[in-house]
Amino acid sequence: MENSKQMRKWLDDMNLSHPLVIAGPCSAETEEQVLKIAHELKDTDVNYFRSGIWKPRTRPGNFEGVGAIGLKWLQKVKEETGLKTATEVANKAHVDLALEHDIDLLWIGARSTVSPFIVQEIADALKGTDKIVLVKNPVNPDLSLWLGAVERLYSADIKKLGVIHRGFSTYEKTKYRNIPEWQLAIELQTKFPDLPIINDPSHITGNRDMIFDVSQTALDLNFDGLIIETHYDPDNAWSDAAQQVTPKSLIQIMKDLRIRKETDEEAEYNNNLSNLRAQIDILDNQLVDLLGKRMKVSDGIGALKKQKNVAVLQSNRWNAILGNMILEGEQRGLSEEFVLKMFKAIHQESINHQEKIINS
Ligand code: PEP
Ligand code: MN
């Protein structure tokens, strides 16, 4: 992907004054439903109308999409509203049908990106197309797998390429449906600054009340666009009911989002930014310094435990520390989730230090 400057061209050519917005229902349900939503999204900030036709459900037995008939409905959307259309493709047959029906944007779903076989099949079927192709991150937080899929499409001479960040599965339940792991998306952006990146707050949150905040974070991190599931009757949607928003809410969300510029020439801005970054650098150094000191104290405890021949892990003590720190964190605006993660990592490092001493 050496010629990466070319990658942004399709997005820059659109001359958008706001982020690229893809909206529409999770699934096409009926022709009426698709057209009704599309008409409500006409003449808004929405650039592309999305709708799943083939729905990969994690467990069988749920609604699995209307199939190829939905492509005709999407063609009607374009005729009646002028909105460009977008759908997910998961194999060669889907690609052939979508191209036949002149779908403008095709995306590869998170469950497909995990399989190099299926990605290659899709890339071969798309070879040389001038349609926009967006690759969702794989369900697991594996940057190479995501990049590998992008590379396969890039090698198939697809010029209008981009990615969608839709979050990652976890075994533990969190407040997200799929945790964002922003660091992964940032790393991808750093490696390929010219690869357009779209955020999917719907599948990250699984919850319509959190769509705004995740969208704002994405814009603050310089994402190029948003894909947001939209339905006129979200609660009765045939798939992903909890995360869909009405067209009216979508319009409000777009209005309320603060759209930031990537750079600003103004000296004041630059000064303020450098100043704040410098403060962060200083605090980060202090953090590492303090952690180093804490581990030295741990070493001392390890030496004492060795003398007494007691176990490294003292669960009561550990639970008391955690409880206290969650409360302390709360007073300083730190989320319980973050405090837990941070102290688990500190605790693990501390145990490693003490183990080393006890076994020395
Ligand atoms: C979707 O966009 O409707 C979808 C199925 O998403 P994902 O592949 O991210 O699960
Ligand atoms: Mn969905």
Per-residue pLDDT tens digits for 315-336 = 888 889 999 999 999 999 999 9
Q: What pLDDT shows up at residue 3? A: 58
The pLDDT-based confidence of 158 (bands split at 50, 70, 90) is very high
Q: What pLDDT shows up at residue 261? A: 65
Please name which of 201, 175, 157 lies closest in space to residue 1, comparing C-alpha atoms: 157
166 CB within 6 A, ligand 1: yes
Q: Which residues contact 199 (CB under 8 A, 6 or more apart)?
A: 164, 165, 185, 214, 215, 218, 223, 225, 226, 227
Distance CA 353, CA 304 (A): 13
Residues 164-174 have pLDDT tens digits of 999 999 998 88
Residue 2 has pLDDT above 60, yes or no: no
109 CB within 6 A, ligand 1: yes
Which residue's CA is the closest to the ligand 1 atom numbered 10? 110
Share of the chain above pLDDT 70, in %: 97
Average pLDDT over residues 124-149: 97
Which residue's CA is the closest to the ligand 1 atom numbered 9? 110
Ligand 1 atom at minimal distance to the Cα of residue 203:
9
Average pLDDT over residues 69-91: 98
Distance CA 246, CA 327 (A): 38
Residues 198-248 have pLDDT tens digits of 999 999 999 999 999 999 989 888 899 999 999 999 999 999 999 999 999
Best mutation site among 59, 200, 244 for ligand 1 pocket (most ligand atoms within 8 Å of CB): 200
Please name which of 177, 255, 173, 169 lies closest in space to residue 212, comparing C-alpha atoms: 255
Best mutation site among 119, 166, 204 for ligand 1 pocket (most ligand atoms within 8 Å of CB): 166
Average pLDDT over residues 325-348: 94
Question: Which of the residue ranges 143-147, 310-314, 343-347 has the most confident prediction, judged by mean pLDDT?
Answer: 143-147
Residues 85-131 have pLDDT tens digits of 999 999 999 999 999 999 999 999 999 999 999 999 999 999 999 99
In the DSSP assignment, the letter for residue 63 is -
Distance CA 112, CA 141 (A): 14
Give the number of whichever ligand sits closest to the CA of residue 230. Answer: 2
CA of 332 to the centre of ligand 1 (A): 36
Q: What pLDDT shows up at residue 237? A: 97
52 CB within 6 A, ligand 1: yes
Dihedral over alpha carbons 75, 78, 80, 82 (to 10 degrees): -170
Give burial (CB, 10 Å; 0-12/13-18/19+) of 6.
Answer: middle
Residues 259-281 have pLDDT tens digits of 866 566 777 787 678 777 878 88
The pLDDT-based confidence of 27 (bands split at 50, 70, 90) is very high
Record the pTM: 0.79
On average, the pLDDT of the chain sits at 92
Q: What pLDDT shows up at residue 228? A: 98
Ligand 1 atom at minimal distance to the Cα of residue 26:
3
Which residue's CA is the closest to the ligand 1 atom numbered 8? 109
Give the number of whichever ligand sits closest to the CA of residue 239. Answer: 2
Q: What pLDDT shows up at residue 260? A: 66
CA of 137 to the centre of ligand 2 (A): 14
227 CB within 6 A, ligand 1: no
Residue 285 has pLDDT above 80, yes or no: yes
CA of 312 to the centre of ligand 2 (A): 46
DSSP codes, 254-280 = HHHSPPPPS----HHHHHHHHHHHHHH
The pLDDT-based confidence of 190 (bands split at 50, 70, 90) is confident
